[in-house]
Structure 1
Amino acid sequence: MMTTWTGRRARLMAVASTALLLAACSGGTTDDGKDAAAGYDPSAAVTITWWTGQTMEAEKVAESLAAEYHTAHPNVTIKTSAGAPTTDDLLTKLSAGFAGDSYPDISYAFGSWAGELGASGRTQDITSFVNDPSFAWNEIPEAARLTATSAEGKVIGVPALVDNLAIIYNKKLFDAKGIAYPTKDWTWQDFRDAAKKLTDPGTNTYGTAYSVSGSEDTTWHLWPLLWQNGGKILDGKKPAFNSAAGVTALETLRAMAVDDKSMYLDQTDEKYMPLFASGRVGMVINGPWSLLDPLKTSKVSYGVSVLPGTNGDHQTISGPDLWVLFDHDNANQAGASRDFVKWLTSSGTDAKWNLAVGNLPLRTSEKSSPEFAAYVKEYPGGQEFFDNLANAKQARPTVAGYEAMSRNVGDAIAEVLQGAKQPQQALDDAAKKSEGALED
């Protein structure tokens, strides 16, 4: 399987020095407008390097797929490796590779890195390639397509994985308190009321939970609430999350954490899902990776429902990861890497990749496949997460500086939920700290 939140999903925690190194690597590098694959000869002998960013089990699947592609295209040799000890280390490894001219042709990347990687000047512009009708670009969820696209409209990669956030609830705890299960009509007030009823200090049980580590796990859980209230993350390159909509969003969370004390505050990102699986938390807002670990190995009886809504708006967020394609000034390498990624993300091959390792399918055309039927049978709640992709209507901005901004917002949320600051002050402080990083 692909790594879970503590590995793959503890995304966006790369240190500021990595972002600075990427920025330094981009110095003097400009996009000359030339197609990196211009003059590509599909019959030429070529070797491409693929950093999969995967754990051992998924890496074996990747190696088998590379071998399958090579059998069909014997002139193309694919050198496959994880690329780094963990997925989180890939950004540092890539930035060092840019400095030493030893970076791959294709690499797995967290979607939050897209802005930094695009600013490096090393990525291919594959906009025309993916917009060719044969690619079926529109079969991939819009939020994932937006993540792969820079603010200037340049597509630098292809989604490797799609997901979203939804409510996961413990049926046994709901039944014990006589609370009706979450529905598609739930509001945030419904969520808050249920969390209060589920909380029991006597048994040390909480109604819900939230990460206050300050990582992207802290930050991206706020964005759906911001969007549902009509707010936006940025206005151009300027922070806009500290608007009235942002304050309302954060106050919704603060009330549960501070006033109701119905929210378990996880300092690490790593505790709240095991606590849910053990019956100590009634509801969590999390993604489909939870169906693999820890829910698949637990005995908890759970259900999945869309996020609570604001005035009927149940927007969620998708945190897609990407296959980013890099330019080595070699048309055959560029062309071969494009062709391989097109094959890898096709509906037929994706069923052997994402569905095989327990992830949602990339493409809507896979919903009627036998592999998807097997997936939803093996992972209860998978169908609900797949359907919830329709509620992922916006994406985190693909801009350099998002990483630094995310840490600032994450710290602000943590301060508010722990009672140290009020929402407006905390978000204003985060916005001020983020201005420089976003303007660079």
Structure 2
Amino acid sequence: MRYAMKSFWNARHRALGGAVLALGLLAGCTSAIPIDNTKDAAAGYDPNTDVTITWWTGQSKDAETLAEKLAAEFHASHPHITVNTSAGASTTDELLTKLSAGFASGTYPDISYAYGSWAGQLAASGRTQNLTQWVADPQIAWDEIPEAARTTATVDGKVIGVPALVDNLALIYNKTLFDAAHLAYPTDQWSWDDFRAAAKKLTDTSKNLYGTAYSVSGGEDTTWHLWPLLWQHGGKIVDGDKPAFNSDAGVAALETLRQIAVDDKSMYLDQTDEKYRQLFNANRIGMMISGPWELYDLTDAKVNYGVAYLPGFNGDHQTISGPDVWVTFDHSDPNRAGAARAFLQWLTSKDTDIRWNLPNGNLPLRSSEAGTKEFQDYCAQYPGAQKFFDNLANAKQARPTIEAYPEVSGYVGQAISSVLQGASKPKEALDKAAQQSVVALRG
């Protein structure tokens, strides 16, 4: 049963505005409960003590129904632990603001869903548990979770939660338009030159047909699509407390996109973050760089599509993953902390995750789920799911888990938008974004 396909537009780490707003709130929050972060939050946990914990799922109504069912199932096998579930906020994007208010009043949850880009801000609150030693337990099977997701859950060397979902960007292509243009379908070995050439041949502006598309809203959807190209060229987003995205690698990455958008005019520039998906489904765009959250809508709209790895540079096909995290919080109560860990271990286990993430339209969290009947059925229902799962191996890096990332992302997004609309050159735009980022990165 499908509960709530993960939508790019109402979920996860994409909403920069709310993240920046809460940045200031978190920095100044005080809790009614003093937290001693020098000791293990679960030290002294008694599993035979009755305890109630709160789980903010950040999910839609249908998914929340599934969450309640799972919480009841957990309680049946762990009678000393009661899990109270709640969405936490009316939308996922509002969770960070609700958490900051909870820190001030001492009413924050034990576990909360969080966009991966919030990790640095939440860790800076001083309210998160340190799970570093806990995840080292072989029973947690930490290594079964993709590295990029584990990295996103780690801030300054401390694990603050367990990944809630995994995803990545790949090349989704419209077979109908490729067939009409008599073009061979993309392969996993494509270069960006191959991509550019195909985009040019697919474009016919007189018919409102475009080879590809890109968001120029200036938000995270704009920014994170650049990072794989940066990494493929050997670049970094930051280097310590200094911006590094304006390196030669960053300029080369953005120049690749500029040529397609400005020189070739074969890139549809979307001001809204949403329209390019609709145009792809309407057979107006030949290729889009997107993730597995698209699969339900593509299948539902009966689009004839395929999925391939991202085009590469010099054979490097690195992609980016946008994992979200179940963040655990410390209430100076070892029983609450220990119970939260017990529940997370159960929720993210192979047997439970397959019943949580797949119905919610997400990829399996663990490599051990690859051979399950549930995942094979999912792949049969949603063509391309296996390719996205395999593509997790190409997600070798993660966005920086630093408090300043949302602000830095905003500056970079503005730079990309300016370049793709022909208002500036890659070097000058990225240099400006780097200058703007200096103060944020140094705190």
When normalised by structure 2's length, the TM-score is: 0.97
Work out whether 1:52 is the aligned partner of 2:45: no
Q: Secondary structure at the match of 2:358?
A: helix
Question: 1:3-58 deviations in whole A, cap 9, x for unaligned?
Answer: 40111153443253310111112799886320000000011110100000001111
- Aligned residues of 2:178 and 2:184 also touching (Cα < 8 A): yes
* Partners of 1:373 and 1:254 in 2: CA distance: 39
Structure 2 residue corresponding to 1:177, chosen from 177, 181, 191: 181
2:350 corresponds in structure 1 to: 347
Is 1:166–2:164 an aligned residue pair?
no
Cα distance in 1 for partners of 2:28, 2:218 equals 26
SS state of the match for residue 154, structure 2? coil
Which of residues 111, 134, 140 in structure 2 aligns to 1:135?
A: 140
For residues 180 and 13 of structure 1, the distance between their equivalents in structure 2, rounded to whole angstroms, comes to: 41
1:249 paired residue among 236, 249, 253: 253
Amino acid at match of 2:370: K
Alignment partner of 1:427 is 2:430: yes
Counterpart check, 1:297 vs 2:292? no
Distance, in Å, in 2 between the alignment partners of 1:287 and 1:397 is: 20
- Equivalence for 1:198: 202
Alignment partner, residue 378 of structure 1: 381
1:259-278 correspondence to structure 2 within 5 Å: 259-278=263-282
Structure 1 gap segments, 5+ residues each: none
- Structure 2, unaligned runs of 5 or more: none
CA distance in structure 2 between the aligned counterparts of 1:32 and 1:272, rounded to whole angstroms? 46
Among 391, 402, 405, the alignment partner of 1:402 is: 405
**2:103 paired with 1:103:** no
Establish whether residue 67 from structure 1 lines up as the match of residue 72 from structure 2: yes
**Considering only aligned residues, what root-mean-square deviation do their CA atoms show, in Å?**
1.4
Shift of 1:377: 0.8
Q: Which deviates the most, 391-400 or 351-360?
A: 351-360
The amino acid across from 2:147 in the alignment is E
Q: C-alpha displacement at 1:264, in angstroms?
A: 0.6
Q: Do the aligned residues in 2 keep the contact of 1:258 with 1:417 (CA within 8 Å)?
A: yes
Contact between 1:140 and 1:364, CA under 8 Å: does it hold in 2? Answer: yes
How far residue 436 of structure 1 moved from its aligned partner, in angstroms, is: 1.4
Partner of 1:285: 289
The equivalences for 1:316-395 within 5 A come to 316-395=319-398
State the partner residue of 1:235.
239
Runs of 4+ in structure 1 displaced over 6 angstroms? Answer: 26-31
Aligned to 1:436, which of 424, 427, 439?
439
Deviations 1:75-95 (A, max 9, x none): 111110100011111111111
Whole-angstrom CA distance in 2 between matches of 1:218 and 1:348: 36
Q: Name the CA distance, whole Å, in 2 between partners of 1:240 and 1:177.
A: 40
Q: Secondary structure at the match of 1:25?
A: coil
Instruction: Find out whether 1:125 has 2:130 as its counterpart.
Output: yes
**1:2 Cα deviation after fit:** 4.3
Letter aligned with residue 374 of structure 1:
D
Kept after mapping to 2: 8 A contact 1:14/1:403: no
Residue in structure 2 matched with residue 87 of structure 1 by the alignment = 92
TM-score (norm 1): 0.97
**Whole-Å separation in 2 of the counterparts to 1:68 and 1:296:** 32
Q: Distance in 2 between matches of 1:168 and 1:403?
A: 27
Whole-angstrom CA distance in 1 between matches of 2:169 and 2:16: 17
Q: Which amino acid letter does the alignment assign opposite residue 238 of structure 2?
A: L
Q: From the superposition, tell whether residues 26 and 205 of structure 1 become closer, same or farther in structure 2 (CA, over 3 Å).
A: farther
Q: Give CA-to-partner distance per residue, 1:140-164, whole Å, 9 cap, x none.
A: 00000000001x2000010000000
What's 2:17 paired with? 13
2:292–2:385: 8 Å Cα contact kept in structure 1? yes
**Contact 1:315–1:392 at 8 Å: present in 2 too?**
yes
Provide Cα deviations, 1:390-437, integer angstroms capped at 9, x if missing partner: 000000011110010111111111111111111111111111111111
Contact (CA 8 Å) 2:6, 2:362: kept in 1 or not? no
How far 1:129 sits from its partner (Å)?
0.6
1:307 positional shift: 0.2
Structure 1 residues 102 and 263: alpha-carbon distance in aligned structure 2, compared to 1, 3 A threshold: same
Tell me the equivalent position of 1:41: 46
Q: What is the aligned residue count?
A: 438
Higher mean displacement: 19-28 or 178-187: 19-28
Percent of aligned pairs with the same amino acid? 66
2:280 is aligned with what amino acid? F
1:24 partner letter = G
